[in-house]
A and B are shown apart, each in its own frame.
Chain A
Amino acid sequence: AQSVTQPDIHITVSEGASLELRCNYSYGATPYLFWYVQSPGQGLQLLLKYFSGDTLVQGIKGFEAEFKRSQSSFNLRKPSVHWSDAAEYFCAVLNNAGNMLTFGGGTRLMVKP
């Protein structure tokens, strides 16, 4: 069965600094990978996805992620963080049958002024 690990439970960065959130997955085939963001009291919003092709994918709000098969990773990055990026971020992988997402435990991002 597939699994997703987000090693960092909490991360604090200063506004304007760069950001990288880690995601490692376990999956037998070529994975379909997603990053979602959840603002306090809200549902999850899709930031970006990787299905195939270019391993660097661009998403909304200035985020990007890079798929590295050799490292089983799909890390999320942003060059300059804004205070509004404070939220919880979830990495997820789709199963073989295409009907079930498995989520990581999430990383809570705090942004210092």
Chain B
Amino acid sequence: DAGITQSPRHKVTETGTPVTLRCHQTENHRYMYWYRQDPGHGLRLIHYSYGVKDTDKGEVSDGYSVSRSKTEDFLLTLESATSSQTSVYFCAISDGAGGNIQYFGAGTRLSVL
């Protein structure tokens, strides 16, 4: 998975609790992305980062925040989890060159009860 580690791989939590998912890369790539995957929707971009402390919103950013204090780490936080945020979350990285090919982590399966 191109030097990308997502943690945890599985998480079950309750509505209203905060949740943080971590993406760690060893490739020193500039760009990092968080997607969610839901049946019939493919992958939808939540937030992305184009450098340390530089982030921007994607298509489905409501209810999510991100932080990137180091090149290698990109955190996704659900401040108060809701059942609609039950999903599989994927991190991706890219060096931004040659068409910005993105490489994906193995995913985190999150269930909000």
Contact = CB atoms under 8 A, between A and B. Distances in A.
B101 to A, nearest CB: 6
Interface stretch (B11-19, B35-43, B76-84): B35-43
Given A32-B99, A43-B1, A51-B99, A101 B105 contact: no
Interface string B69-113: 000000000000000000000101000101111111111000000
Interface string B19-39: 000000000000100000000
B64 interface: no
B58 interface: yes
A101 B58 CA distance: 10
Contact of A46 (B40, B96, B101): B101
B50 A99 contact: yes
A42 interface: yes
Interface in A65-97: 90, 92, 94
Q: Number of contact residues on B: which range applies?
A: 20 to 34
A103 B105 CA distance: 16
A87 B31 CA distance: 27
Interface in A2-21: 4, 6, 9
B40 A105 contact: yes
A44 B100 contact: no
5 contacts: A32-B100, A41-B106, A43-B105, A46-B103, A99-B31
Interface of A: 4, 6, 9, 32, 34, 36, 41-46, 49, 51, 90, 92, 94, 98-106
